[in-house]
Amino acid sequence: MLQLPKVVGHRGAMAYAPENTLDSFREAHRRGATWVEIDVKLTKDGVPIVMHDSSLKRTTGVDRLASEMTAAELPPSVPTFAQAIACFGELGLGCNVEIKPCEGREAETARVTVATLRDLWPAKLPAPLLSSFKDASLAAARDAAPEFARALLIDEVKDDWRARAEAVSADGINTNGKRLTAVRAVEIRKAGYLLSVYTINDGDVARALVGMGVQCVISDAPDVILAALR
């Protein structure tokens, strides 16, 4: 079973540097994170890139959809997934790769993501964790590359969580830490699933969640959470 770190830097260390950029990954590393979380989607020409929103407007000022741009048209601050992986190799960072497909490209994005990992993921790094809010992406990732651990992202864990997790053969649940109840945390851990929470930036909240059985805290400020859990 995959060994999760206690803390993962969200989109790098987005409290301190522009999210999902190489600078953000370096900042997370400087602040003690051993893993980061990133969001991967495809450009028009099928290149996997690291970008959270459908549009580039909020993070780069460019008012265009990622799905309508070629990789060659991207602003330099937006890394390709390949560039991000090379950066992780330099820094020795593990990664929670969130598959964040544009509408209608759920399976394709997963297939390209795992093919890229198979080609480029450095053997010296810990194995990555895939995650997605899209069940179809996780199912496609499992079918194409079952060797990569998968976590189902769920904003609020409801009664159907286990059926959904089983349907995609998930290894873990990554959920909104502000909505997770102690009862659900125990249920998930007792069922043998890994349990991670996002996005927790308060040390006391992180400690309480770990006390409930949470194994991994995804945070914009990984240094704050590392200090709180020490």
The residue ranges that bind Mg ion (CB under 5 A) are 39, 98
Nearest-approach distance from CB 218 to Mg ion, in angstroms: 8
When the beta carbons of 19 and 171 are compared against Mg ion, the nearer one is 19
What long-range pairs does 200-207 form, CB within 8 A, spacing at least 24?
Answer: 200/225, 201/15, 201/225, 203/227, 203/228, 203/229, 204/228, 205/177, 205/178, 206/177
Helix, strand, or coil here: 197? strand
Nearest-approach distance from CB 10 to ligand G3P, in angstroms: 6
Give the one entry of ligand G3P, Mg ion, none that residue 198 binds, where binding means its C-beta sits below a cut-off of 5 to 8 angstroms depending on kind.
ligand G3P
Contact call for residue 131 and ligand G3P (CB under 6 A)? yes
Instruction: Tell the residue number behind the tokens 């209608």, with chain if given.
Output: 104
Of 26, 52, 178, 189, catalytic:
52
Among residues 37, 106, 187, 220, which is the contact residue for ligand G3P, using CB under 6 A? 37
Among residues 174, 187, 188, 195, which is the contact residue for ligand G3P, using CB under 6 A? 174
The residue number with the shortest CB distance to ligand G3P is 198
Residue 157 is which amino acid? V
How far is C-alpha 174 from the geometric centre of its chain's CA atoms? 9
Contact call for residue 33 and ligand G3P (CB under 6 A)? no
The whole-angstrom separation of Cα 217 and Cα 230 is 13
How far is C-alpha 219 from the geometric centre of its chain's CA atoms? 11
Residue 40 burial (C-beta neighbours within 10 Å; 0-12, 13-18, 19+): buried
Among residues 85, 95, 99, 153, which is the contact residue for ligand G3P, using CB under 6 A? 153
Residue 52 is a catalytic residue: yes
Q: What is the DSSP string of 15-74?
A: TTS-TTSHHHHHHHHHTT-SEEEEEEEE-TTS-EEE-SSSBSHHHHS--SBGGGS-GGGS
Contact call for residue 198 and ligand G3P (CB under 6 A)? yes
Give the one entry of ligand G3P, Mg ion, none that residue 174 binds, where binding means its C-beta sits below a cut-off of 5 to 8 angstroms depending on kind.
ligand G3P
109 in Cβ contact with 99 (< 8 Å): yes
Site for ligand G3P in 61-100 (CB under 6 A): 98
12 in Cβ contact with 91 (< 8 Å): no
When the beta carbons of 43 and 131 are compared against ligand G3P, the nearer one is 131
Site for ligand G3P in 109-128 (CB under 6 A): none
Of 4, 5, 10, 100, catalytic:
10
Give the one entry of ligand G3P, Mg ion, none that residue 131 binds, where binding means its C-beta sits below a cut-off of 5 to 8 angstroms depending on kind.
ligand G3P
Q: Where do contacts with ligand G3P occur on this chain (CB under 6 A)? A: 10, 37, 39, 52, 98, 131, 153, 174, 198, 218
Residues with catalytic roles: 10, 52
